[in-house]
Every structure is written in C-alpha cells, then in structure tokens.
Amino acid sequence: MSLVANTGKLAGRTLFITGASRGIGKAIALKAAKDGANVVVAAKTAEPHPKLPGTIYTAAEEIEALGGKALPCIVDVRDEKQIQKAIDEAVKKFNGIDILINNASAISLTGTAETDMKRYDLMHNINTRGTFLASKLCLPLLKESNHAHILNLSPPLNMNPYWFSLHVAYTMAKYGMSMCVLGMSEEFRQFNIGVNALWPKTAIATAAIEMLTGDTSSSRKPEIVSDAAYVMLSKDPKSYTGKFEIDEDVVKSVGIKDLAPYACDPKNANNLLLDGFLDDPASLLHHQQTVSSASIRRYHTTSANYKDKVTLLVLGNVNNLLPDFFLDLPGHQTQEVKKSEPAGQIPELFSVINKTITPELVKKTQAVFQFNVKGKEEGIWHLDLKNGDGACGQGEPKHAPDATLTMDSTNFADMFAGKLKPTTAFMMGKLKIKGDMQKAMKLEKMMKSLKAKV
C-alpha cells in the first residue's frame, strides 16, 4: 500500500539496488519502476529459495510490468568482480548509474559468546564492507550524473553503550554502513552526490522476518520504507546529504497523516514492534494521570550529535509502560518501571501453564525451555513440550533445553500474560536467548492461548 504519489522525478534514472530480489530492496525498485526508472537488480538469489519467494528474475519481471526497465544481475556484495561486472552491464544497457541503494544486509542478534566468527565475518563483509565496496565502485559513474544519490538502509548513529551491549557484532556491522554515510556525505559533497541513511521506525514485514518469527501482525509493510526512499531520492542531492532519516518522519513530511494503511494488521497500527537504534527518551507520566489513547509513540530523528528530547511512550496505561531502545536518561539501565505484583506470581503462572499442556501442544512444539528468572522472584523454571506428555515446574528440566531464556521476573510474567511479546522483549534486550532461536520464538504462538487464562 503506497501512500506517496509518484511524481516522475526518477523517470529515466538508473538505480543500482543491492539485495533487490525481495523485501525492502524490491519494494524500492517497484516504486521507482512506476516512474519509468531503470533498475539493476543486484542480488544473490538466482534460484528460488524453498521458503523465501523471489529471485532477481521474478523481481525484474515485476519491475518491467510496472513500466520500468530491469537488469537482473547475480551479485554477492562480498565479491568485487561480481559488483564490477554488474556495473559494467548497467553502463552498457543504461549508459550509467544515478543512484546506489545499499540494502543488502546480514543479521544475527547474538551476544559476544554466542556469535561464531563465521557469522561475524558474514555480517561485516556484507553490511560494512559490501556497502563501502559498492559505493567505491559506483563512484566514478555517480560523479557523471546530475542527480547522484547513495542511500544506505542503516540506523542513526548513537554511541549509547546499551545498544552495543545487546549484540556487539551486529551493531558494529550496521553502524559501519552508517559511518559510510557520515564520512562519504562530506567526502562526496564536492561532487554533488547526496549520501543519506534511511531506517524504519518499526519492524517491517518481509519474507525473512515471517519465516523467523511466523508473525508479521505487529509490523508495517515494506511500502512505508519504499515511499520514504522515493521522497529522499527525489530531492536535490546538492543540498540534501548527510541525513539519517526515519521512514515515518519522511512520509509525514510530505503530508501523509494516517499511517494505518501501512500496518500489516490495522488493529495493531498503534501497537507495533519498534525497531532498534532509535533515540526515544521516555518520560514517565504522573502516576495518577490517565491515558486515553491505546498507544503513544514518538521519535525524533538523530544524526551523530543530537539534543536530548524527552518523549512519552505508553502502552494502554501508566502501569504498562514499554521503554524503547537507547533511552538516554540518567540511570535508565538500572531503573525499572515499578508495578505492584502479588507475591508468588510465577508459581501461580506455572500452575496455569501446567493445565494448558496437551499432547497436541507437545507434538506441535517439540522443544524444551529453561527459564532463568532474575529479580524479585529469582529462580530456575522449565517447560518441557517435547518429551512424554509434557511437563513444567521449578528447577532445571530433566532433558537438555533447546533454548534457555533469561529475563527479569516482572517481564517474564508480562510475557506469559500476553502483555509483552518474546520478539519485542528480545529486541529490547529484556530477554536473552541461548540455543535454538526459532524454537524459542515458538513460545509466542503458545502464549496467545494462555493470554485469556493468565
């Protein structure tokens, strides 16, 4: 659902988009195609993936069906020869390149001990090195264009150590892309090349996310990012450069007021899973003040330096506050929103869980979970949905856990009560997961059945 109207400003322009066979990259390509743009679909997917639909060839067909021209190229951004070959082919077919979009990226939200070096190298070689390399190789052609842009799908730079602490390797790799923006925007200013970054405010529903979590109901469609990218790429690169933009802010700047159509599930339009790397300091309301709206979330866009801005983040009421990432307020890491809780909430919770275990649930889940609970009700609990008729209770499981989850007792109770999704908790750093990530995410579906009983 695109809400930003096409203006024709990209007509005849040539876009080189990495990772354009699906997801956000393809959405940007299709938006540009409606202007009659030329698109180099630079991605690895030449053969269909068993679980992820889309190849460079199917993307090219969709681009041309909308009025654009496409050049599908097999490109692994780690391979300099493959990038250069695609650039050479673009010159032969389209006589140059006007816009480079560094979209290809790899992700692993793991801590230092859990990040193997193969995964570390993959993220840095694709995210940081791939972005630098594609920009370097496209530079001679961008210098020749009178409307040259580089757009990186990367977050605003923020040196708060909290975000680094969650997954150092991934943060470094994504910030590498953002540092390319910071440096190249100044370096290439003399050539009238605009270099900017774009980052989604919320989770975006892509095939990869759906495969990982099995749920996109708390996400927005890729079209909000492609609409924002279109607005940015339509601006004059001579004056528009060095920006770290948020998709929602960009589309609002051109008059889009109702963002609900971008939501995958309109019912969740005000209760979306927020993305990381965004400065949104939260200020708590007076404990007696009520909030009528279902959800209030506000951001301010940041660059390398930003002014502190205290904004409100409330879910439902002041007793159900959901702090966002990078809350740069004194003591944020150590202060928690306090709630009155009945003593022994977790034992009661597991009593309810025990009554919901069925052979069908065991057969469907096939996983053993260990919960290391911290805080007020510190202890170890387990949920076996793999062996026999299933079991749960206090202490370590009899069988080796497939996933070990560590979190505070308050957040733990909220998670099983349906107030806090495991995916949200994990991305916010409230939940640490060791072991099989996909099996850990199966808890989210199971918790939906518990919500009415807890």
Active site residues: 170
DSSP 356: H
Tell me the C-alpha distance between 434 and 206, whole Å: 24
Under 8 Å between Cβ of 48 and 63: no
Tell me the C-alpha distance between 138 and 5, whole Å: 29
Element (H, E) at 246: strand 244-246
Among residues 372, 404, 373, 402, which one has the least CA distance to residue 386?
402
Kindly give, in sequence order, each residue whose CB lies less than 8 Å from that of residue 41, ignoring residues fewer than 6 positions away: 17, 20, 21, 29, 56, 59, 60, 63, 70, 71, 72, 73
In this structure, the dihedral spanned by the alpha carbons of residues 11, 187, 18 and 137, taken in order and rounded to 10 degrees, is 100
**Structural tokens at position 160:** 């708060």
Tell me the C-alpha distance between 53 and 453, whole Å: 37
Cα atoms found within 13 Å of the Cα of residue 81, Cβ hemisphere only: 0
